[in-house]
Amino acid sequence: MARYILFYKPYGVLSQFTPAPGSAHGTLKDYLDIPGIYPAGRLDHDSEGLLLLTDDGALQHQLTAPRFGHPRTYWVQVEGVPGEEALERLRRGVEIQGVRTKPAAARMLDGAPDLPAREPPIRYRKSVPARWLEMTLREGRNRQVRRMAAAVGHPALRLVRCAIGELGIGGMRPGEWRELRWEEVRFGERRGARRD
């Protein structure tokens, strides 16, 4: 029977079970002791939020292969206050590393999302305002959200993946995990990705 684990990756933890040589960062092994599961996708060590881990190779492929365009949603605390022009550029796609990103959904949040404080905390600067955006991408290039935010003049200060398809972060805290019920996995397959 395949297993499906939803994990809230804390800041400073690598999206892998084996430590990188010379790295002081924690790994998934510090939180999960379930043999045979692997992450379906990644989050950088300085990003937080949802990871889906499974031993179901077909689902891993479906969630990570670019042709499926599986949606991933992020809350991004950015430096400054993005105007409508910056948001529209994110929606159309921006050029990063010489390649234009696919269009993304992007909107300003009314306030800060209900998240636990980050350790270590974000550096606070009284003279520079910070706002929260919600962005949904259907591609997963290396450090893409951070590079997109920087490309429109608003570097990311904190990045939290809050949803993978229909699966959300609600009720979870950093370092916590839960096993998905079969109906959640099936719901994600029906609604989340195309099937060829």
Catalytic residue ranges: 44
Q: How far apart are CA 180 and CA 16, in angstroms?
A: 20
Instruction: Report the alpha-carbon angle 33-25-22, nearest 5.
Output: 110
- Give the CB-side neighbour count of residue 138, counting CA atoms within 13 A: 14
Q: How far apart are CA 183 and CA 187, in angstroms?
A: 6
> Is beta strand 48-54 parallel, antiparallel or unpaired with respect to 156-164?
parallel
Q: Which residues pair with 67 in a beta bridge?
A: none
Q: Which residues pair with 167 in a beta bridge?
A: 164
> Is beta strand 167-168 parallel, antiparallel or unpaired with respect to 177-179?
unpaired
